[in-house]
Amino acid sequence: EAQVTQNPRYLITVTGKKLTVTCSQNMNHEYMSWYRQDPGLGLRQIYYSMNVEVTDKGDVPEGYKVSRKEKRNFPLILESPSPNQTSLYFCASTPAGRLLLEDFGPGTRLTVL
């Protein structure tokens, strides 16, 4: 089944404890991106990647890191999480040449205490 998977789906952690949210797609898509969703603000892009080893900042990259070592995976890393990073996170992917976000992951709800 073609899909984007995220893990974990739910996470409660404490300030300063490094964490990684994984994102994986099995559709051979070139473009992947991360978003956070907060009430009243819609979705805001954190980072995106046009292809392997190519990543760029979105609107709210502070406090986050990403890597794209292989096409299928695009992990989101929070080196030192803070309470203002409590949010709902989505990963998405699409084929190259079509900026059409065809596939979203199911979301990861993160709470930082």
Partner 1 sequence: GIQVEQSPPDLILQEGANSTLRCNFSDSVNNLQWFHQNPWGQLINLFYIPSGTKQNGRLSATTVATERYSLLYISSSQTTDSGVYFCAVEGGADSWGKLQFGAGTQVVVTP
Binding residues (CB under 8 A) for partner 1: these are: 31, 33, 35, 40-45, 48, 50, 56, 58-59, 88, 90, 92, 98-102, 104, 106-107
Q: How far is the CB of 80 from partner 1 (least distance, A)?
A: 25
* Choice between 16 and 106, CB closer to partner 1: 106
Q: How far is the CB of 91 from partner 1 (least distance, A)?
A: 11
Q: Where are the alpha helices (DSSP H) in 1-113?
A: none
Q: How far is the CB of 79 from partner 1 (least distance, A)?
A: 23
* Choice between 33 and 85, CB closer to partner 1: 33
d(CA 99, CA 23): 19
**Which structure tokens are listed for 82?**
């803070």
d(CA 70, CA 79): 21
* Choice between 18 and 57, CB closer to partner 1: 57
Q: How far is the CB of 20 from partner 1 (least distance, A)?
A: 21
d(CA 79, CA 59): 18
Dihedral over alpha carbons 29, 66, 83, 13 (to 10 degrees): 80
